[in-house]
Amino acid sequence: MGRIVFVIICLMAAVVPPAVVWLIETDQLELPTSLTASGSEEPPRGKIYYFTADWCRYCDEMKPKVKNLRREGVRFRTIDVDLYPEMAGKYNVNGVPTFIYIEDGEEVARIAGSCAEWQLRRLWNAKEAFIPYF
């Protein structure tokens, strides 16, 4: 797995600016498990798959919100639908931005479209779906 990521990053470095490569690389990292007060290991929570595209104006508006929530410990995996159309198809993503909370490989809830930061926090904390269709 490590060699594949390294090769992909090397290939992308020739085409994609270094800042974008760094973002893609950090999105793929798994966070370590945390310790509870009793000292036992707690399995990591799920993550939110953030489906986006470079040309999407609403996705650009979501970037600061995602960045703030990452600082709070919310785990996002950014997936560009133009680079990974098979992932968009697998999760039945018909528009961007789309946020899908995944736990144990299964979809728990989703938000389709632009939303407020509190709605993403609610998705992460309560695993509740809030789907604004406008």
The residues assigned a catalytic role are: 56, 59
Determine if residue 101 is left, alpha or beta; phi over 0 gives left, psi from -120 to 50 gives alpha, anything else beta.
beta
How many helices (H) and strands (E) the chain has is answered by: 5, 6
Q: Please provide residue 64's backbone torsions phi and psi, each rounded to the nearest 5 degrees.
A: -65, -35
Specify which residues 52 forms β-bridges with.
80
